[in-house]
Amino acid sequence: KDIAIREFTLSITAISFNKSYKFLLDSKMNNSTLKDKFDFTKYYDKLKQYLPNSTQPSDKFLTWLVGFTEGEGSFIINNRGDLAFVIIQSNVDIKVLKFIQETLGFGKVIAQSANTSRYVIQSKKEIELIIHLFNGNIVLPSKKVRFENFVNGFNSWIKKGRIKINPINFKHSSILPSLNDSWLAGFTDGEGCFTCSISKNKGFSFNFNIAQKWEENIEILQHLCIIFNGGTVSKHSVFNVNEYRIGGVSNCKNVFSYFDTHHLCSKKLISYTLWKQMHNDLLKKYHLEPVKRLEMIEKARLINKFE
């Protein structure tokens, strides 16, 4: 009885939270510069000017790249005031760096260490392109602060040397991802985790998680509760980190709908494919059969194991 009361209370709390947050979100949409989509017009214009013969990337790719960068990328200003845009990955995922380089048509992929590589942009014109790509399109509040510093650094940097480039105004904007764009796919490639564990006594857990540092970013995690129509946001065991989690065989329907149409581009695609297979096995109740349960335990162990 106590357990039933507790579960009912938790469900009511979650419903109340979702309604309250939706009210706040609607109010924000009516009283701010909140946009309903990403806009890469300035980037396309500048790309045509600098690289007229290059193939123009799709909005879908660029939106994915914004999400991936918010998880994995860095806007760097060194002690001399020089700028660089960098994304570092394990060599297991070097293909995603080459994919970015080939699709954008500029930048370099170089070795960082024995086990890691990085995609890097350092020239002034290419940095200008990157700024136009991200300007007004960044979602995380913490990343906006770093990017604004980067834009200010760029405006000081271009005063040096012979190349004449116009300064860029940082765009103050509010934008939230939806299930109709690829931002979350990119962000999940960087920060998301698909997990499943099968116990020896027929129990199991099945979750999609995204953890994020800094309290100012919690609103974005809370927004996931709305667009997926489920899940919770709670404090992570790590200080100053919050985590969005949605779990259960029946609760992840919208998760599948999203990632089946907005594809992951990193090794997380392998994780997602195995995770989805586990979901199918759970629906078929294979975890209740001793032999198949052992097979599922091994398959679950491989979801996030990469060589």
Do 298 and 208 lie in one domain? The reply is: yes
Which domain, by its residues, includes 11?
A: 1-31
Is residue 170 located within the same domain as residue 40?
yes
For 33-75, write each residue's pLDDT tens digit: 455 579 999 999 999 999 999 999 999 999 999 999 999 999 9
214's torsion region: left (phi>0), alpha (psi -120 to 50) or beta? Answer: left
pLDDT in tens, 102-114: 999 999 999 999 9
Q: How far apart are CA 130 and CA 121, in angstroms?
A: 9
Q: Is the predicted pLDDT of residue 181 greater than 60, yes or no?
A: yes
**Position 201 confidence tier, pLDDT thresholds 50, 70, 90:** confident
- How many distinct structural domains can be found in the chain? 3
Structure tokens at 164: 């004449």
Task: Let me know whether 129 and 213 are in one domain.
Answer: no
Residue 3 pLDDT class (50, 70, 90 cuts)? very low
The pLDDT of 281-295, averaged and rounded, is 93
Residue 32 confidence (pLDDT): 36
Provide mean pLDDT across the span 280-294: 93
Average pLDDT estimate for 285-305:
92
What average pLDDT is seen over the chain? 89
What DSSP letter does each residue of 6-34 carry, written as one string?
HHHHHHHHHHHHHHHHHHHHHHHHHSS-E
From 110, 161, 100, select the one nearest 133 (Cα to Cα). 100
- Least confident range of 1-15, 233-247, 278-292: 1-15
CB burial readout 52-91, b (16+ within 10 A) else e:
eeeeebeeebbbbbbbbbbbbbebebeeeeebbbbbebee
Instruction: Tell whether the model's pLDDT for residue 31 goes beyond 60.
Output: no
Contact 45, 39 (CB under 8 A): no
- Last residue of one domain, picked from the residues 150, 175, 200: 175
5 has a pLDDT exceeding 50: no
Q: What is the pLDDT of residues 216-273, one digit of tens each?
A: 999 999 999 999 999 999 999 899 999 999 999 999 888 999 999 999 999 999 999 9
The residue written with tokens 């979750």 in the block is: 207
DSSP summary character for residue 153: H
Check which CATH number belongs to the domain holding 226 and give it.
Answer: 3.10.28.10
